[in-house]
Chains A and B, each alone.
Chain A
Amino acid sequence: MSINVRDLNESEFFYGHKACAGCGGSLAVRIALKVLGERSVAVLPAGCMSAVGFNFPQLCFANNAIISTFAGTASMLTGIEAGLRAKGVSDFHAVGFAGDGGTADIGLQALSGAIDRNDNIIYICYDNEAYMNTGIQKSSLTPFGARTTTTPAGKNIRGNVKDKKNMFEIVAAHGIPYAATASIGYMNDFMNKVDKASRIHGTKYIHVMAPCPTGWGHEPCETVEIAKEAVDCGLWYLAEYEDSEYILNRNVKDFTDISQYLRKQSRFRHLRDEDIEYITKSRDAKWNEIRTKYKTV
């Protein structure tokens, strides 16, 4: 049974927020909450989604929602789940929405601990590939070549010199019950992964690619298309980890042009042909690995 747009909850749980026009992260939060419903207790660490959602007295969540410390998304989820369980409450979802910095950098230890204890929580990382709320600094999920304020594009070094960390595989390596990658450019896939996660007991992790027009330098109207293009050109992929097995959900046969994807975003505009060649080679190497290690459907 899969959910689609027609039977999606008509209530809005994230409304009137102050995210930039065309913000991909806010779309991910909005749709995930529509899938999970009213009895979700959401945890939002420091980052764009808490900054735009809670500006007293403008409080944009219709469900219970709380801001956590930057590092503490997973530990607060653990506490909420244990606390409500102790009070005899059972029909709820403890769900976290943390950025790439809040997940792959400062929040990694708390997340790793929660997975180790197999706490019954849903952790969603909305990945906009930098510390956006503080003005676009590099995180360990910023891709190679991207210009940020801490990885500027100059004469000698052209943006970020490091590769994007594979957070999905790091989480999966814990032996988590369920982990998935997703994209706001493939909304049905994302909705159904959130729905699936809500039915599994234990720790669930979903990593959703969510473009940020402000930090990536594209038009606000292009957010969804760019998210889709990242998947179509092979720089992002849709997969799951379940029952100790990796599953590739979308086996892209013919990639679209990487340079076309990169050129649409000002954060990559300085890249030279040799940089694009490096990015293409890295993509091909990763996909060779995926095609041997992952089960393809």
Chain B
Amino acid sequence: MKPYLRDHTPVLLSEIPDAPSYEAGFLVSKNAGWRSTRPVIDTEKCTGCLMCYLHCPEGVIYKAGGKVAVDYDFCKGCGICVRICRAGAIETEAER
């Protein structure tokens, strides 16, 4: 479970709640555009130690088949994962 991207953004007055409460985990925009570089996992080198998963401020690194993968919709390219990976399994690539 995690907050996820919806396919509709509430815009009409009738869609906006009267009370100051709303559904939890309601996302309408990605953070991918913030990134100038992207971390790329080399699954050959990855030992599955999960240190990158533990230290990503966005929580966008997830477990995948004993290794890890990145949700690029919400990765901001901060580079913390690159620095924390002792196996040198994360490369930085420039975004075009």
Contact B83 A221, beta carbon cutoff 8 Å: yes
A161 at interface by CB-CB < 8 Å = no
Contact B10 A57, beta carbon cutoff 8 Å: yes
6 contacts between A and B (CB under 8 A): A16-B29, A26-B58, A27-B57, A58-B28, A59-B26, A184-B55
Most chain-B CB neighbours within 10 Å: which of A10, A11, A22?
A22
Contact B22 A56, beta carbon cutoff 8 Å: yes
Contact A15 B54, beta carbon cutoff 8 Å: no
**Bound-state Cα–Cα, A8 to B74, Å:** 21
**Bound-state Cα–Cα, A17 to B60, Å:** 11
The residues of B that contact A77 with a CB separation of less than 8 Å are none
Taking the nearest CB of chain A, how far is it from the CB of B26, in angstroms?
4
Q: A30-B59, A62-B2 are in contact. Are A221 and B54 (CB under 8 A)?
A: no
Q: Mark B63-77, 1 if CB is under 8 A from A, else 0.
A: 100000000001011
Q: What residue in chain B is nearest A64 (Cβ atoms)?
A: B24
Among the listed A15, A24, A38, which residue makes an inter-chain contact with B3, where contact means beta carbons less than 8 Å apart? A15
Most chain-A CB neighbours within 10 Å: which of B28, B54, B62?
B54
Q: Mark A11-26, 1 if CB is under 8 A from B, else 0.
A: 1111111110111101
Among the listed B54, B77, B82, which residue makes an inter-chain contact with A8, where contact means beta carbons less than 8 Å apart? B54
A223 at interface by CB-CB < 8 Å = yes
Taking the nearest CB of chain B, how far is it from the CB of A2, in angstroms?
14
Number of interface residues of B (CB under 8 A): 40
Residue positions of B touching A, CB distance < 8 A? 1-3, 5, 9-10, 16, 22-31, 34-35, 50-51, 53-60, 62-63, 74, 76-80, 82-84
A187 at interface by CB-CB < 8 Å = yes
Contact B31 A16, beta carbon cutoff 8 Å: yes
**Bound-state Cα–Cα, A24 to B28, Å:** 24
Taking the nearest CB of chain A, how far is it from the CB of B57, in angstroms?
4
Contact B80 A22, beta carbon cutoff 8 Å: yes
A109 at interface by CB-CB < 8 Å = no
Contact A224 B80, beta carbon cutoff 8 Å: yes
Contact B31 A221, beta carbon cutoff 8 Å: no
The residues of B that contact A59 with a CB separation of less than 8 Å are 3, 22-27
Taking the nearest CB of chain A, how far is it from the CB of B38, in angstroms?
12
Contact A10 B63, beta carbon cutoff 8 Å: yes
Q: What residue in chain A is nearest B92 (Cβ atoms)?
A: A221
Q: Closest 9 interchain pairs by CB?
A: A221-B79, A12-B2, A22-B78, A21-B78, A21-B76, A62-B25, A12-B59, A27-B57, A220-B78
